[in-house]
Structure formats: C-alpha cells, structure tokens
Structure 1
C-alpha cells in the first residue's frame, strides 16, 4: 500500500471547517496506516518531516488537501488522490492540524539525558587500522538499510561497513584531519564516529526533527539545525557535550524552523538559513591561535583574520527582504546567494554589510544547496540545477547575471565537479528520465555527453576523489551500486553493489572546501 512519506511539505491546515466525515479515531487510524512509517507514530518526523501545528507553516490553508491528494513537486511523496477518497483526505488534513495531547518538548534537559560517550576523546589509538590515505577516504551513505560504507579513495576497496541511525540527512561532516566524521539524522541524532578505529565515539539527540549539522573549520564545534523545536543547538565536538541552545525567533517573538546551518571558514562562523522569518543568522566561533588549513580551493586561511574582539557564539541577525531557506556561498564567503523554495527567484546578500547587492532570475525552485563554481575563461561562474524545471542555470559571479540556461532531460537534484576536472555532472533526478546523467564541458558550457548507467534505475549524486581524476556515481536503488568512472575518458571502471547509496563524501573535498562539491 502507498504511504505518505519522504517529503510531505509543511502544511498549514484549516482550523475552521464543517464537521468531519470521519471520527478522530478513524482519522488517527488513517494516519497510522498511510503516514506513520515516514512521519513517525507521534507525528514527530522520520524520513519525512514532523507534522505538528507548531512545525507547519508558510503554505496557504487550501494547499493541505492538494498536497496529500497530488503530492508536491520535486519530492518523493506519492499522490493519494486515487488511493483515498476526498472525504478521507480532507479529514486527514484537518486532523493533522490538531495539536497533540502532550506538547512535544526537546530542550537542554532532554538533550542532556540523551547524551552518551562510548570512548572519551583521546582514549583510542591515534594510528588508523588501515593503510589507505586518510584524506582520500569516502563515506557512502546507504539509506536502503541504514548503513554507511568506508571506501579507500585510491583502490575503491571497501574498508568497513557499519550501521547508522535511521534516515541520515544533510551529509556527514569531517574534522580537518579526517579522523572523525559526524552524522546527523532526520530524527535529531548526532553521531561522532572515529574513522581511524572504526568506532562510535559519542552520540546525542539535538532535536526532534533535524535538518543538518555543521562542523567548525577547526573541528572544535558542532551545530545542529532543527525544524522541531525551532532551535539551533551548539556542541563541543570532543565528546558532544551541549554548550548552548538558541531558540530561533525574531524581535517580534515569531519563531522559525531552521532550514540548514553552514560553516563559513574564512569568516570563522556558522551561518543559518531560516525558513519562517526574514533573517539570516551568523554565529562566530572563537578564533584559533594559528591557521588550521590553507590548502585546496579555499584560498583564504580557515582561521580568519577577523576582529579578535568579536563576541564568540553571539547571534548576528541579518535582515533580508524575503525568506531565504536555501543557500549557496561564493568561494570567499563574502556573499550568500539565497532563495526561498516557494519563491520565484534568488538574491545575493553581502554578509559584511548585510545589504542585498543583486537579484537573480532563478525560477523553477533553484537547488542552491547543490550549486558549484569554476573558472570559465577569466571569470568565475556558478551553476545549479532546478528542482521543478528541466534546466541548469549558469551565473556570472561578478555581474550576477545569468549567462546561460542549459536545457536538460529533467529537473535535477545534484550537481558536482572538481577543480582539476574539465567536466561538471548533473543528474535529472525528478521525472521519467531519472536514469540519465549529463556531462557538461566547463569551458564551452555545453552538454557533451549523456550517460545512462543502468536503464530504468535512478542515477544521481557524483563525488570526485581528492585529485579530481576519478569519481563515484550512485545507482539510487535498494539493489543499487556505486559506479567508479574515469573523470577524463568517462569510462566505467567498476561497480560496487550497495543498498540505495544516496550520497558519497570525500574527506579531502569536504575539509578543503573543493569548489566542485557541496559544503
């Protein structure tokens, strides 16, 4: 039977309505049958987001029934218009608006009670259990059976496979030396894993419904972005001890879900995207006494030369003209390029002045979180797919003008490249041609190859090795695989069977902020 799952978007449901055709008990049973497996038995979220009145906003009331009946663009939620009758759908929508009998709470006390330390920082050996290059490792997240695989980025042999929390989300984050990786799950868990010793070090539940985590460039702090409760949570990275919880609200007391949090290395700060209030938040971490890293794509030191008198961990509020819940940054983190998932464009905001400096004509739900940059001739460009339009937009990062629109075989989800590669890769994740992937020449700005790695099966999410010479591509199915390609010849080199490998994350690319990957 179909189930409501994955991406039932936040809904504002109708409070005033005629009598329900179904009783509350019948509607609750509908929810348990069709929704609970993805959104949680208590509506607290799982693979899909939480479905509670305090967590549901920014859609008009009449959108609720339509989303359930017809799904939502660029999501994996099925349409239920042919599975449930109109009365059932309306009753279910109205029932979701009712507050739970017990208001869910997840504050400092609950976070503290969830905290577990299995191997205190410094208690495990400092020598890896394997011979592979620690900075050229890949983590592959396998969502089919909730595991992760650790791959040698030179031989592509599997070093280890281990169980993870349910529904990892937002991509794992590494410490600069590549020893530790932090995972975040949709139901709020942060797990610190020691890659040298292949052991879980510590865990803590930061929220009920969490979007992602970010790790400071020096590896000392972890911040979690929550949909529920509306908060940011800050942790000491060593053992995941809670440092502070930030309720996210504006001066008027209006609260907001947090769409995502990012580390901005040149600024020495975390930057948060807020879904329900027109602000961007910047929270600086304490400056280290020496630079951490100054190699790779990041041309400025990861220990920024900012005013040392700034107040660490204090929120700087940047007012913006519209909701910005999807972000991209220029390489120096001087500007944030933001858009609203429900809007019809984007804008560029200077993070130092807080001023909007440009508008971007980006219709079709641009997926800024998958944007990449490269040098094309003498200029730097950014490129990004769209979640509801079959195209890739290419923007000049000096004039902020769109210089080209590439037509693709369907709306895309992920776009990836590498500084040393002549090509950018983009999938067409949404739509009937999801088994294809386009290869774009970064100088001519033309699609030069369209591959179909396995007909009928979703091809998505590329990640290069540290040198940009080979890459991994997912067959995004339960009986899927990771395919290794030569980055220049585009020849397939080998396949590694995996269970719905949703993402691959190379240590070097992520810790050196390589221009062709997400951050």
Structure 2
C-alpha cells in the first residue's frame, strides 16, 4: 500500500476531529419548531419557552411597552418580531436570546404582519396613523404609507390603522378606524401600490383574514355588522355581512371588544364572539348568515378552535375573565368550565392541538391543559403574562 493512500484518510479523520472540537454546544444545536414566547407585559420581557418540555428556557428583556404587544415569526422560525405598544419593533433571536435589531418606528403602534415571502415586516400605527414596512433582515425602512383620508369638510386627516394582516401574493390588508376604509397594499413593485375601499362601515376596530387567505373581515365599532372583502374578487368591493351581529333582546355593557383574530373556523362554520352578549355565535360561511347562538359564561373575547376543529375554547371579558369554557363543536354542548387563574388574556394551542397554554395575568402564571382529558398538566410562573405565540404561526396566513 502506498503511503499517500494512508495519509489521505488519516488527514480526513483529523479534520473531522478538529471540526468536532469546534462544534457549538448541544444546547444551541436544536430545532425551533417547538419554541414559543410568552409576553410579560409588566416587565417588558419575553419568556422563551419549549412546548415539548413545557418549560421556560430564558427571558429577553428591554423590549419596551408590551401592554398590547403581538409577535410574528420569521419563516425559518428562528426570529421573533415583537410589536410594542410604544412604537418599538424588535427582532429577537430565539436561540441566543439576543435582540438583533430594534427600531422606534412610531409613537403608538398596534401590531404587524410579515409578507408571504418573509422579506418584509409591516407595522400598524396609531400615531402617526399609517403603515411602515421594513426589511426583515435588519429592519431597514422600505416604505412609509400614511393613512390619510378627507373629512366631511374636505380636510386631509390621519387615521389610526387597525386589523393589519398579511395576504397571499406579498400583499398587506388593513383598516382605517376614523376613515371607515380598508386598504390593500401590493408590495411586488418598486413602490407600494395601494387600493382603497371606502365607506366600508363606521369605525372598523379590528379584523381577521381566514386561513385560506381569501376573506378579510373587519368588525365595526360604530354600527352592527361586519365588512367583508373577497380578495379573489376585489372588483366586487366590500360586502356587509351579519347585519345583526351583536344585537339581542337586551344589550349589555361592553367591557372589552372581542378579538376578531380569535375567531374559530370549524368546517363550513365560523364561530365568533357576540358583542355585549353572553353568547357565541355561529355563521354559515357560504352566505355568512347567522345560524345559531350558544349561551356561555360571560362576554366572549377569544373563540378559538382546537386544530382538529372538534373543540372550541372560549375566554371572557371582565368581570368573568377567570374562566375558560370548552364547547364540543359537533354537539354544541359545553363540556368543561375551567379556572386557569385571574384575568385570563390569551390561549395558544400546540400545533397538533394536544395541549393548550392559557395566560392568567393577575395570577402571574400560564396553565397548560391536556385538550383530550381537559386536565391541568403544569403551570409556569410568569410575571403578568398576556400573549402566547408559538413558532408554527410562521407558516400560517394571518398569524
């Protein structure tokens, strides 16, 4: 055997040994699919969690005012984009716990969205009213779109932006609260192309996009009903649906407007929280007619379906917000009334729905339930927890 034929394998083995000695620690070499974050609003921090082991991995601080914060994830699920109420936009590395980029982009903001291709991050702003769009890599400003409109005297005004979502084809959709408009933004050209839909209803306050990315639905604060934009047929304009949404024989005080992003889509039905009523409403998605009302514990805030759509979980507004109820979507029966803690704010299912995590702000804890047995599995300590967000959201439209 020639000497050279021995040296080559030995050299390769030595190189592998050298590389093995330089490898990152096993803790850092992990996937991100079972990671998530809990917003801790009192301390301006995120608790990074492992949903498989159901534990807090670390905390990321210095994120500003998180009193109404929301979180989106990069398409590789390594980074969390945190939208603070104070106008701060932060990019957080979930594996290292570092803030890799941060910009104070407005005086008051209310959430955001990431484009279909993952390149752009859009932020909805109250003050000044408008949408700013940033590159997801380093948060450099790409576009600044003011939310302007003309009042009854023909004067140009700025409107608060609400209900910002991503839509297929690298589009963003949002509503203008004071203007009563819906705007569709196409980000495929050199500059944003904005299509305006006017007179959609009085004071749209929140919105959702359905899981297929076809229907954008805005709730109306100033009147009953909802405004629907079919993104497959934008030439048809905005349609009014559920004109009796929120009505009943007796109107109750509204302690908190329900979150439309918490709607449940189960089969061909939409389950939605009634406004000012102790009811969950069911609508037929074919014609958006109201088909059923289910009496519940209080005024619903989130009405969310388990991923397999067999259960619908409901949280409530003050003063009934220490309870969560579970409805069987087939029988319409309430199968459980749970007590996760005081001031329940948010719920998040694991991707296949075997567990649900529920934040209780005033109890300083997150409770994890088995969704089949409906039994408590564990509790995690967290200071004033609010929103809970898991990384599989990165691959779902509107989340």
TM-score tier, shorter chain, comes to 0.7 to 0.9
Q: Hey, what does 1:353 align to over in structure 2?
A: 235
* 2:51 alignment partner in structure 1: 153
**Aligned equivalents of 2:117 and 2:25: distance in 1?**
20
Superposed, 1:498-517 pairs within 5 Å as 498-508=382-392, 510-513=393-396
CA distance in 1, matches of 2:123, 2:211: 23
Deviations 1:15-60, CA, capped at 9 Å, x for gaps: xxxxxxxxxxxxxxxxxxxxxxxxxxxxxxxxxxxxxxxxxxxxxx
Which of 331, 340, 356 in structure 2 is aligned with 1:444? 331
Q: Distance in 2 between matches of 1:267 and 1:396?
A: 27
Partner of residue 372, structure 1: 264
Distance 1:489 1:451 in 2: 12
User: Which of 387, 391, 394 is the equivalent residue of 2:279?
Assistant: 391
Q: CA deviation at 1:491?
A: 0.9
Q: Is 1:215 the equivalent of 2:103? A: no
User: Which residue pairs with 1:256 in the alignment?
Assistant: 159
Unaligned runs of at least 5 residues, structure 2: 1-22, 248-256
Q: Number of paired residues?
A: 359
User: Does structure 2 retain, via aligned residues, the 8 Å contact 1:391–1:410?
Assistant: yes
Which whole-Å deviations, capped at 9, do the CAs of 1:380-414 have from their partners, x for residues lacking one? 11112235322111111112111111111111222
Q: Deviations over 1:133-158 (max 9, x none)?
A: 41121111111322211111111121
Partner Cα separation in structure 1 for residue 228 and residue 213 of structure 2: 12
Given that 1:129 and 1:197 are in contact with CA atoms closer than 8 Å, whether structure 2 keeps it comes out as no
Q: Is the CA contact (8 Å cut-off) linking 1:207 and 1:226 kept in structure 2?
A: yes
The one of 365, 368, 374 aligned to 1:490: 374
Residues 382, 396 of structure 1: 8 Å contact kept = yes
- SS of residue paired to 1:134: coil
The corresponding residue for 1:468 is 353
Equivalent pair of 2:123/2:131 in contact (CA under 8 Å): yes
Evaluate the alpha carbon distance shift between residue 132 and residue 482 of structure 1 in structure 2; reply closer, same or farther with a 3 A threshold: farther
Q: Choose which of 480, 495, 509 in structure 1 pairs with 2:364.
A: 480
Query: Which stretches in structure 1 are left out of the alignment for 5+ residues?
Result: 1-124, 287-309
CA–CA distance in structure 2, aligned partners of residues 500 and 349 of structure 1: 36
Residue equivalent to 1:301: none
Shift in Å at residue 179 of structure 1? Answer: 0.9
Distance across 2 between alignment mates of 1:428 and 1:267: 35
SS, match of residue 344 in structure 1: coil
**Aligned-partner SS, 2:301:** coil
Per-residue CA distance 1:353-393 (angstroms, 9 max, x = gap): 24234421211655423212121xxxx11112235322111
Aligned to 1:247: 146
Larger % of strand: which?
Answer: 2
Describe the shift of the 1:210–1:127 C-alpha distance in structure 2 as closer, same or farther (beyond 3 A): farther
CA distance in 2, matches of 1:470, 1:221: 31
Q: TM-score, normalised by structure 1?
A: 0.65
Question: How far, CA to CA, are the matches of 1:342 and 1:470 in structure 2?
Answer: 37
Alignment check: 8 A CA contact 1:168 1:183 kept: no
Q: Does 1:362 align with 2:260?
A: no
Q: How does 1:24-63 map to 2 (within 5 A)?
A: none
Match of residue 133 from structure 2: 234
Q: Which residue of 2 aligns with 1:275?
A: 177
Cα deviation, residue 170, structure 1: 4.3
Q: Distance in 2 between matches of 1:272 and 1:321?
A: 12
Partner Cα distance (1:421, 1:201) in 2: 37
SS at match of 1:166: coil
1:89 match: none
Match 2:218 to one of 338, 344, 350: 338
2:208 matched to which residue of 1?
A: 328
Q: Match for 1:434 among 321, 334, 339?
A: 321
Offset from partner CA, 1:71-91 (integer Å, 9 cap, x none):
xxxxxxxxxxxxxxxxxxxxx
Structure 2 CA distance for aligned equivalents of residues 126 and 276 of structure 1? 52
- The whole-number CA distance in structure 1 between the counterparts of 2:258 and 2:44 is 29
SS in structure 2 at match of 1:413: strand
Aligned counterpart in structure 1 of residue 39 of structure 2, from 141, 155, 171? 141
Give me the whole-angstrom Cα distance separating, in 2, the residues matched to 1:248 and 1:227: 10
C-alpha distance 425-490 of structure 1, shift in aligned 2 (>3 A): same
